[in-house]
Amino acid sequence: MDNVQQEVRKFVLENYCFNQEGALGNEDSFMERGIIDSTGLLELVSFVEERFAIKIDTYELTPDNFDTISRVTQFVLRNVGLA
C-alpha cells in the first residue's frame, strides 16, 4: 500500500502542487481544494491506468475513487487485488 500511495502522491504533487510536499494531506479533497479540475482528473486516470496496468470504466470516475490520495490508493489496491 505504501508504494502505491507514494507513487500517487508523487504524481499529484509534481503535476498539480508543484512539489509542495506539505501542501496536501492524504485525505485532502482534490476538488474542494481546487487542486485537480476535470482535465486533471483525466490525467490522473491515465496515470493510474498506465502505471498500475488497470482499466478504469467511466462509471468508476467518482469522488469516492478519485478525490483524495487515500481514495485513489484504495481504488488501485482493490483493482490489483491487494485490498
Summarize pLDDT for 14-39 with one digit per residue, the tens.
998 875 666 789 999 999 998 999 89
Asked if residues 54 and 80 have their Cβ atoms less than 8 Å apart, the reply is yes
CATH dotted code for 2-79: 1.10.1200.10
Could you tell me the pLDDT band of residue 82, with boundaries at 50, 70 and 90? Answer: confident
> Is the pLDDT score of 71 beyond 80?
yes
3-class SS of residue 6:
helix
For residue 5, the one-letter residue type is Q
Domain locations in the chain? 2-79
**pTM greater than 0.85 (yes/no):** yes
Closest CA to 15 of 33, 41, 54: 41
